[in-house]
Amino acid sequence: MTDPRPQTPALATLDDQLCFAIYSANTAINRMYRPYLSKLGLTYPQYIALLALWETDDVTVGALGKRLYLDTNTLTPLLKRLEGMGHLTRTRDPKDERVVRIRLTDQGRALQTQATDALACVHAMASEADMDLKPWIEALNHLREQALKKAQCAGG
């Protein structure tokens, strides 16, 4: 009797691993962003939190965590640092004290204009490589959603 489960491929080299390709590309892109973000006094996770808030301000910590795929335990210290820098405020929702709302300050909103250099750098890199980023972004977003579904099935 044959086993109906799909065959697992033998362990391949590091460069043959999808997870390593994504990880190492992410590391390289973060390095590319670093000089631009350091001028703003931001880390990459702080930058993506601000990107999300520039899209939609006045959100709950839970909604921001869901948008960024970050747990509250990871997000809260990041938000406290951004608050200490004067970029946002965290306040309890008067309707439900358990809920913390995040709002950009004027300083946090003004930072958006200064952050355009980081985005321009990525687009310049893609342009130099003659790459259209949209299909890559769509494919990676699809891959992320499939991986999240598999993780939920596995109890992760």
pLDDT digits (tens, 9 = 90+) for 79-133: 999 999 999 999 998 889 899 999 999 999 999 988 887 778 777 877 777 778 7
Alpha helices in the chain (DSSP H): 18-40, 44-55, 61-68, 72-84, 106-114, 116-128, 133-153
Name which of 123, 134, 121, 112 is nearest 33 in CA terms.
121
- The predicted pLDDT at position 153 comes to 79
* Domain-located, residue 82: yes
Q: What is the CATH number of the domain that holds 79?
A: 1.10.10.10
* Domain-located, residue 12: no
Q: Tell me: pLDDT of 23 over 60.
A: yes
Task: Return the amino acid letter for 125.
Answer: M
Q: What is the count of structural domains for the chain?
A: 2
Task: Return the amino acid letter for 87.
Answer: H
- The predicted pLDDT at position 137 comes to 87
What pLDDT digit, counting tens, does each position of 2-22 carry?
A: 666 666 666 779 988 989 999
% the chain with pLDDT above 90: 56
Regarding pTM above 0.85, the answer is no
- The predicted pLDDT at position 66 comes to 96
Q: Contact, 118 vs 47, CB < 8 A?
A: yes
